[in-house]
Structure 1
Amino acid sequence: MSELLTGAWLDSLTTDPYLRLGAIVAGAVVLALLARLVLVPLLRRLARRTSSDIDDQLVDLLGPAIFRTVILQGVNVAVSDFVLDPRVDRIVVAITVTLMVLIWGQVFLRGGNLFFGRLSENADRTNWIQPQTLPLVRFVLKVLLFAVMSYLIMSAWRINLTSWLASAGVVGIAVGFAAKDTLANFFSGVFILADAPYRVGQYIIIDGDTRGVVTEIGMRSTRLLTRDNVEVTVPNAVIGNAKIVNESSGPSQHMRVRVDVSVAYGSDVDRVREVLGACTVGLENGADDQPGVVRFSAMGASGLDFQVLVWVKHPVYRGRLIDELNTRVYKALAAAGIEIPFPQRDLHIRSWPAGEQGLSRPDA
């Protein structure tokens, strides 16, 4: 654009510095108006052809930014052509570049917030961004933009970045040692967000101990709400090194639970299977579209071992379903006359010491 504003046409038009200054500023205003009246409507017309409205909002952000950028660039060119003092020229260039960096930094920030906010509204299509993790994503965006904008502004003012980077390195090491736990939680939260082992609203078990529904994934910690209505806050660094069982990550909310049942030796296996199968029908918290299964799993030390496997509607009802199923199984076996054995051991005595006080031989 500099050649367009200060080309041969301007030299042939006038050599008066003030007229040249006015011509350059006027040319910049004309170009800015053309961008607003021609380019922006063209972009808006193209954006209307899509089904999404996010591109329309992005065009609304670009319009004022393009207009102001052209004006600032025109001022920059005009001052460079008019002012002979290089120090004044450097200051004006630094000011205009700083303003343009701030303008476009705001555009990228608002556009990024708009884009990620729209992604969070379609959380079922994206694994790495959810409504509750949106603040973390926006925070990372702000940090990155701040770093890039700071670098560009310092470069425009010709500030020596070497000493700043060295100082930042020393400060970073000190802060890293002082806040290593906080940083570990933060980066673990970023990795959890990227890997998406769980989402807000899902039931998870951490290290086989803590179980609950995820209510929030924050920058420092993840919050779970247990069945006792107790909120548990787990640092992200702990979760990053823990074994996580996600009970809600399947294609549906259904999950299968298992109840172990043992009956006495000599019981009719087919009859036991029939009685246990009837217990799986019509459960209050069971999934009606997925029938239960009865398996003869082993011949144990004290009895015949069976497994009753049923599907629960939602992991939150797991405890209720197990209670209902155990109650049904106990009553059904008792009504059918099928014995539930106690743990037992057979003791075989090979010899009996003679003359023991208070004891007699079994065959005496």
Structure 2
Amino acid sequence: MAVLGYLVGKAVQWALRGLMLQAAKRTQSKLDDQFVHYLTEPVVQTGVILGLVAAEKAFGFSETVDWVLVRMLFSVLIFLWGRAWFKATSLAISALVRRESTHELVQPRTRPLFEMSIKVFLFGLLVWLFMSLWNIDGTAWLASAGVVGIAVGFAARDTLANLISGVSIIADAPYKIGDYIVLDTGERGVVTELGMRSTRLLTRDDVEISIPNAVMGNAKITNESGGPAIEHRIRIPVGVAYETPPRKVVEILERVARDNDMILDSPAPRVRMRGFGQSSKDFELLGWIRFPEQRGLAKHRLLIEVDDAFREAGIVIPFPQTDVHIKGEAGPPEGGAGETE
């Protein structure tokens, strides 16, 4: 009977694989073939187990032995199909992540959330099937699980807070891998990994910082790579002496920005006069750089080049000065100490 079951299972597997592979030929990906392989793999084992069940019935065991043996065989069958579905689920999520046309909700950073949720659901379904097969009342188990869950929740509240915050970050998407972010606590860097428990930043000092998601969820985050483009604008405030013509300052600053290889040509750099200060006419040079992490170096180069250009043009950068006027003392009053008797 087992051999017959094997042959029947092999035939059914061959037929199913043929039909499914024929449909999978419409795509160029090899993942569809692996998916079909995982789904049809337990078909042969199913045929063998059904053959063993039929053989066991033919032997005429006692009712108790028959009840135990049949459920043991079907338990093995549940395990085999569960393993196949776990593999197929991981493969399907990987395929969705790799497809560029997939909805934005399925991304590499959201993969752990989807994979964990589906596997927990499958595991719960398999446990329910196993308990139903063996006529186990799940009420007491659910009550015990509730008590254990409360105890674990209190013991691992920080870990659960990080997990819940990780889900919130993935759903809200305030940043993504590759973004340059700044926290209100002063940490800044490029997001290198977004996990369920923590977020990792790579700083400009080439140091990786791991920040719990519970902290990230409650922090004020400035995403300098956010928006439709990753370019970042820098501002260079400049003050010049009052006798300097404003148009001359604008011309020099724009030329310096255009000649700097870190400042993008589009959008074009520009200069704005911001007001009349106490000691200077105040201007601001605005330019765009390609990546936010280049801001420090770009400002350094621009400040040096602006200073060189102003010295060459004879433009003075004033500094705050205070003039003190001392009034002279008045002469001695009449009848004062200056008169003698």
Give TM class, smaller chain.
0.7 to 0.9
| 1:125–1:332 Cα change, 3 Å | farther
Q: Alignment identity in percent? A: 41
Query: Please, which moves more after superposition, 336-345 or 306-315?
Result: 336-345
Deviation at 1:328, TM superposition (A): 1.6
- Equivalent residue of 1:281, what SS? helix
2:122 match: 145
Contact 2:39 2:85 in 1 (8 A): no
Query: Please, which moves more after superposition, 79-88 or 234-243?
Result: 79-88
Query: Please, which moves more after superposition, 335-344 or 206-215?
Result: 335-344
The structure 1 residue matched to 2:33, chosen from 56, 70, 75, is: 56
1:241 aligns with 2:213: no
1:123-272 alignment to 2 at 5 Å?
Answer: 138-207=115-184, 209-272=186-249
Deviation at 1:264, TM superposition (A): 3.3
Deviation at 1:283, TM superposition (A): 1.6
| Structure 2, unpaired ranges of 5+ | 332-341
1:95 aligns with 2:87: no
Deviation at 1:217, TM superposition (A): 2.2
1:340 aligns with 2:325: no
1:273 aligns with 2:239: no
The structure 1 residue matched to 2:289, chosen from 292, 312, 318, is: 312
Contact 1:264 1:303 in 2 (8 A): yes
1:267 and 1:104 map into 2 onto residues whose CA distance is: 83
| Structure 1, unpaired ranges of 5+ | 1-21, 350-358
Amino acid at match of 2:300: D
2:47 and 2:269 map into 1 onto residues whose CA distance is: 71
Amino acid at match of 2:141: W
1:260 and 1:124 map into 2 onto residues whose CA distance is: 45
| 1:249–1:71 Cα change, 3 Å | farther
The structure 1 residue matched to 2:45, chosen from 68, 88, 92, is: 68
- Equivalent residue of 2:259, what SS? coil
- Equivalent residue of 1:223, what SS? strand
Query: Please, which moves more after superposition, 296-305 or 120-129?
Result: 120-129
1:41 aligns with 2:13: no
Contact 1:264 1:338 in 2 (8 A): yes
- Equivalent residue of 1:34, what SS? helix
| 1:169–1:360 Cα change, 3 Å | same
Contact 2:181 2:188 in 1 (8 A): yes
| 1:241–1:223 Cα change, 3 Å | same
Deviation at 1:270, TM superposition (A): 1.4
Contact 2:192 2:201 in 1 (8 A): yes
- Equivalent residue of 2:242, what SS? coil
Query: What does the per-residue CA deviation read over 1:27-80, in whole Å, with 9 as the maximum and x for residues that have no partner?
Result: 755642331232221111111122322211111112222232344345556756
Query: Please, which moves more after superposition, 33-42 or 91-100?
Result: 91-100
Contact 2:180 2:225 in 1 (8 A): yes
The structure 2 residue matched to 1:108, chosen from 61, 82, 85, is: 85
2:102 and 2:260 map into 1 onto residues whose CA distance is: 33
1:288 and 1:360 map into 2 onto residues whose CA distance is: 57
Q: What's the RMSD between the two structures over aligned residues? A: 3.3
| 1:327–1:92 Cα change, 3 Å | same
- Equivalent residue of 1:159, what SS? coil
Query: Please, which moves more after superposition, 231-240 or 219-228?
Result: 219-228
Deviation at 1:86, TM superposition (A): 5.0
Query: What does the per-residue CA deviation read over 1:224-245, in whole Å, with 9 as the maximum and x for residues that have no partner?
Result: 1111122222111100111222
Amino acid at match of 2:267: Q
Provide TM-score, normalisation by structure 1.
0.78
Amino acid at match of 1:241: N
Q: Give the paired residue count.
A: 331
2:97 and 2:38 map into 1 onto residues whose CA distance is: 21
